[in-house]
Amino acid sequence: MPYPVIEAVSRATDSAERSLGRALGRGFAIAVIDHLQFVLERLEKGVRIPSTSVPELRVLYPDEYAAATEMTASIADSLDVALPPEESVFLTMHLLNATRDEPNGTAALLFRRVQHVVTTVENGLGVRLDVESPDYARFVLHVQFLLQRLVSRTMLTSGDTSFFEFAKHSYPASFEIANEVKAYVKAATGSALTDEEVLYLIVHIERLKTQLRSGHTDGAVFE
């Protein structure tokens, strides 16, 4: 590897370790150097991977995303090269692998499932949600915790079904979207969501719909 690449990654890694307050390990730096060298070779040949927009990543892992964004800027400045903005996404995933005490790929799998649920809701509502809105952030975090409860088998349950039945009949469109999410989760994990979990999905979807009706101030784009 060219020494300037090694030096740039080492400096950026040191900064990320200070920012996150933990050591990232030698394997992290090696993985980033290998990835970056491949990126630089592609750029030199004029090959560009299509931009990857993953706003959920900023919500789910804000510290890692911020550190990765700083790393991208630092490396680009050190090497005097314009790195694609999606490099922050790739570096965030490298950081997650290095900082999460989970089996390899767990964070990425959770992230992909959150993305799929968000897309299902967007398709059901016929919009692209405003990724900067507080309701969007609350919804994404709710989906994350829902999927984590599913894995840990601590799903919300209640012996009282009156609220669920009320929401089911009062908000049929949101109930239908929530049911589509339930079907996806069942297919992806083999576990069924409880009525209580579906109820909270309905509530969040209704909140997003209310936001959309309030003059489209959230910047949602109708399909």
Please state whether the predicted TM-score (pTM) of the whole model is above 0.85. Answer: no
Q: Could you identify the residue written with the tokens 């706003």?
A: 55
Task: Determine the Cα–Cα distance for residues 204 and 77; give it in Å rounded to an integer.
Answer: 42
- State residue 217's pLDDT score: 43
- Indicate the pLDDT class of residue 53, thresholds 50, 70 and 90: low
Task: Determine the Cα–Cα distance for residues 81 and 168; give it in Å rounded to an integer.
Answer: 54
What is the per-residue burial (b if ≥16 Cβ within 10 Å, else e) of 83-107?
bbebbbbbbbbbbbbbbeeeeeeeb
- State residue 7's pLDDT score: 94
pLDDT tens for each residue of 101-132? 555 456 667 778 888 999 999 999 998 888 88
- State residue 109's pLDDT score: 77
Instruction: Please state the CATH superfamily assignment of the domain spanning residues 3-99 in this structure.
Output: PRD domain (1.10.1790.10)
Residue range(s) of every CATH 1.10.1790.10 domain in the chain:
3-99, 106-222
Please tell me which residue, 202 or 39, carries the higher pLDDT value.
202
> Domain spanning 106-222 has what CATH number?
1.10.1790.10
- State residue 35's pLDDT score: 85
pLDDT tens for each residue of 122-181? 999 998 888 888 888 889 888 888 888 887 788 888 777 889 999 999 999 999 999 999
